[in-house]
Structure 1
C-alpha cells in the first residue's frame, strides 16, 4: 500500500488529465448499463402480443402531463417503441465510443507522464550515488530496475489503468441495474463476494512474490550480458566462451522456471472466476423461473437481470487479471523505491562549511578519506597534499 501511495504522488501534476478521464470512463460504464436497460421495454411492451406496439414513452412520463409533453416536445415519429429503442441504442453507442476514446487517451496521458517523472527521478537518484553504491549493486541489477521494473509499472499505470477504470464503472452501474430489476435475487450475488476477495488476495500475494524472484533472475542475466559484452576481449583472451555460455544458459533456465511459477500463480485466477460465475448464473436461472411463474418479475425484467449478470461476469473476470498486473507493478515499484531511498555512505557532517566557488586553483592539504563498511573503517587516503 505504501508503494502505491508513493506512485500516486507522481500522478499529482496530471490531475487535470486524470480527473476528466475518470468522468469520461464513468460515462462509458453508465452507457453500457443503459443499453442493457433498453431490452426490458422491448420484451414487455413491444414483443408482447397482448399489448401491441405501445408508446414506450408513456411509461416514463407522468400520467397528467403525457399528452402535453408528447405533443410539444416529442416528434410523432418517435412515439413508436421500436424507433425510440433503435435511436437510443445507436446514440448511446456513438457517445460511448467518443467517451471511451477521450477517456482512454487522457488516462494514458496521465499514466505515461507519471512513468516519465518516475524514470527521471530514479535515474537522477542513481546517478548521484557514491562509488560505494555501484560497488554493492551490479550493473545488471541497476539496468533491470531502470528498464524492466519501470516497464512493469508503466504497463499497469497506463493501458491497464484505463481498462480497469472502464470495467470498474461498468461493474458499478450494472450492479445498480441488477438491484433495481431483481432485488430479490441480487442478494445471491453477495454470497460469492467473500470467496472472490479471498481468492484474489491469496493469488495476489503469490504473484507478487514470484514477480520479485523473476526480477532478480532477469537482473542476473543482464549482469552477465554486461560483463561479457564490455569485457569481450578478456573472454576471448582466456578462451572462456564455453564457460560464459554455460553461465548464461543456467541463468536463463532459472529465469524460465521463475516465469513459469509466476504464470502458474496468475493463471489460476481465471478458472476460479469461471467456476464462481457459472454457479451463480445457474442458481439465478433456477430461482428466476420461480419469480416469473409467480408473477413477481416480468419477462423483460428477468431478461434484463440475466443480461446484466452476464455483463458483470466480464468485469469480475478481468478484475482478477488487473489485480495480478497491479501486484506485479507494486512488486516492481518496491525495487524502484528501494534504490531511491538508499542513503549514501559518504555524507557531509552536520554544520560542514559551504565551500566558496572555484576561482583560480584548488589546494588539498593533509586530506584523509575512508569508507565505513559494516562498521569497519577502510582508509583509502591519508594526509594527501595536492596543489
Structure 2
C-alpha cells in the first residue's frame, strides 16, 4: 500500500503547491463547518433561554455568510483536485502508451488485450478518482473530526473525552474491513480484465464466429465470464455488507450516548441546553467522517488494486533495447549474416545452428513446412526477439549494436499477419513514410498491383478501411501491406508469405514489377510457393529449426529433397521425372 502511495506521489509532486493550497482551503472550509453547530448552541442559550433577541440577527447573518463562503471554498478546492487529477491522468496515459510502444513482442504474447485495455482505461480512471475525490475526502473528514473534537473540548471536556474513547471501536472495525476487502478488489479487477478479453476476441474474430455459426457458444462463454464477474462482486459486497451495518450502528450510537449522558448533565446543571445542542449538532460532524471511513476504505482498496496493475505495466522491463555500445552507421548497405544462431522460445528450441550469408543486393528465399521457424528467422533479423546464442550481422556489425530505430528503418517488412489501421487506404500505405507524396504512394500501390482495386473503391485512396482491413479480401490486404513496405524504400526488404492470398496471375504481375526494384535491395522472401522463390540467388530449406537444404533453384531440384517434392506437387512432371517420386 505504502509503495502505491509513494508511486502516485511522484506524479502529484509536480502539483504540490496547488494541492497544498487546496488542502488549505479544505482546512478553512472544515473550520467554518464548526460555526453553525457552535452558534446554534449560542442561539439556544442566549436568544431562547436568556431572551437576548438582539443577538439573533447577528448569529443568523454569520451563519448565512459562513455557509456562502464555505460553498465558494468547496467549489474551488474541488476544482483544484479535479484539475490535478486530470493532469496526472493525462501524464499517466501518455507514459503508459509510450511504454506500450517500447515493449517486446513477448509482452503482447503473454498478456491478454483485455488486461492491457483495462489498465489503460478503467484502472487509470480509478487512480484519477483517488486523486480527485478520495484524497480530499480523507483530508476533509479528518479535519472535520479533529475540529469537532476541539470544539467539544471547549464546550465540555468530559463529554469530549467520552467521544474520543468511543472512536477506536469504529477504527478497529474499519481496519478489519480494509483487510477483508483488499483481496476481493484484486479478484474483481482480474475478472473484469478477463471479461474485456472475451469481448475483444469476439469482436476481432466476429467473422470466424459467424462462419462457424458459433454465436450461441460465444454467448455462453461470455455469460460464464460475466457470471464469474458478478460472483466476485457479490463476494466483495458480502464482506462490505457484513461490516457496514456495524459501522453505521456504532456511528449512530454516538447520538444515543450524547443524548443520554448529555441529558443527565443538563439535569444536573453541569451542561447547558445550548451546549447540548452544540454537541448534538456536532454529532453529524463526528458521524459523517466515521461513516465515510468505510466508503473511503473501499475506494482506497480499489485504488490499490488498480494502481498495482498500472505500476506493473509502467515498470515492465523491455528486453529488446539499444546497447550501451552502439556503433554509428551512416548508411546500411544490406549485407546480412546469421552466424551460429540458436533461438529458444518458452523453453522450446525453435532455431538451431543457423548459418547464412547474403550479400547486399542478393535475394534469399526461405521455404519449409509450417512450424519450421521461417517467420522466427525474420523476427530475429528485425530484432523483435534476440537470438539465444550466436549473432546476426548487418554490414559486419552485430545488430544488437545498431540503433534499434536505425535498424528497423532500414528494413521494410510485409508481414504474414497483416494489420491495417482504421484509416484511409492512403494513410495505411504511407504509415512508414508520413511525409510521402501521393505520387510516391500511388507508385508503390502500382508495383503491388493494388492501384486498380483501390481506384474502384468508393472514395479511392481516401476510402476508410475498417479495423484490421474489414471489407477487403485477403489478397487486397496483402497488396496494401506490400505497398506499405515498398514505399519505405528500405535497404533490406522482407516479404513473409506476401502473395499467399493473391491469384497466380496477380502474383506473376507483382513479381515482374518487383524484379527490377529488388535488384537494388537485399531481399528475403518466405513463401510456400515455388513460383515466388525460384528466381532467388540463394534458397534455404528449413525443417524443425535447422537448415536441411540450400542452393539455387536448379541445385535444389537436383537434390531430390523437400524442395524438389514441393516443386513436383505444385508443377507436376515438367522436368521429365516421375510423379511417383512426389511425397
Fold shared by both chains (TM-score > 0.5): yes
Which among 232, 253, 261 is matched to residue 258 of structure 1?
Answer: 232
Matched residue, 1:301: 275
**Equivalents in 2 of 1:290, 1:25: separation in Å?**
36
Structure with the largest fraction of helix: 1
CA contact (8 A) 1:266 1:321 kept: no
Contact between 1:164 and 1:322, CA under 8 Å: does it hold in 2?
yes
- SS of corresponding position for 1:38: helix
Q: Which residue of 2 aligns with 1:53?
A: 52
Instruction: Give the structure 2 partner of residue 182 of structure 1.
Output: 156
2:33 is aligned to: 32
CA distance, structure 1, for counterparts of residue 5 and residue 229 of structure 2: 26
The alignment's TM-score, normalised by the length of structure 2, stands at 0.58
Match of 1:66 in 2: none
Q: 1:211 Cα deviation (Å)? A: 1.2
In the other structure, the counterpart of 1:353 is 325
SS in 2 for 1:342: coil
- The 2-side partners of 1:373 and 1:206 are apart by 40
Selected match of 1:122 from 96, 100, 104: 96
Match of 1:152 in 2: 126
Whichever of the two has the greater Rg, that structure is 2
RMSD: 2.3
Quote the offset at 1:239 in angstroms.
Answer: 2.5
Report the CA distance shift for 1:369/1:253 in structure 2 as closer, same or farther (over 3 A). farther
Number of aligned residues? 358
The secondary structure found in structure 2 opposite 1:356 is coil
What stretches of structure 2 of length at least 5 have no aligned partner? 361-583
> Which structure 1 segments of 5+ residues have no match?
55-79
Write the distance in 2 (CA, Å) between the matches of 1:171 and 1:319.
11
1:364 matched to which residue of 2?
336
Shift in Å, 1:21: 0.9
Q: Is the 8 A contact 1:29 1:171 kept in 2?
A: no
Q: Does residue 216 of structure 2 align to residue 215 of structure 1?
A: no
SS of residue paired to 2:270: coil
User: Shift of residue 3 of structure 1?
Assistant: 1.0
Deviation at 1:160, TM superposition (A): 3.3
Equivalent residues of 2:254, 2:283 under 8 A apart: no
Shift of 1:228: 1.8
Confirm or deny that 1:135 pairs with 2:136: no
Answer with 25-34 or 118-127: which moved more. Answer: 118-127
CA deviation vs aligned residue, 1:40-85 (integer Å, no higher than 9, x gap) = 221112111xx4327xxxxxxxxxxxxxxxxxxxxxxxxx311210
Alignment of 1:344 with 2:318, yes or no, is: yes
Deviation per CA, 1:76-119: give whole Å up to 9, x if none.
xxxx3112101111110111011111111001111221222222
Give the one of 169, 172, 190 matched to 1:198: 172
Residue 354 of structure 2 corresponds to which residue in structure 1?
382
Describe the superposition over 1:267-294 as per-residue Cα deviations: whole angstroms up to 9, x where unpaired: 4443122211233322222221232222
Distance (whole Å) between structure 2 residues aligned to residue 192 and residue 377 of structure 1: 67
Change over 3 Å in CA distance of 1:44–1:123 after alignment to 2? same
> How many Å apart are 1:208 and its aligned residue?
2.1
Deviations 1:147-197 (A, max 9, x none): 121122222221333333333322221121122212101222233333222
* Secondary structure of residue in 1 paired with 2:354: strand
1:108 to 75, 82, 86: 82
Cα deviation, 1:208-256, whole Å, max 9, x if unaligned, reads 2111111111111211122221122222222322222211111111111
Match of 1:86 in 2: 60
Task: Give the aligned partner of residue 10 of structure 1.
Answer: 11
Could you say which residue in structure 1 is the equivalent of 2:204?
A: 230
Q: Distance in 2 between matches of 1:337 and 1:324?
A: 20
Inter-partner Cα distance in structure 1 for 2:321 and 2:347: 15
SS at match of 1:47: helix
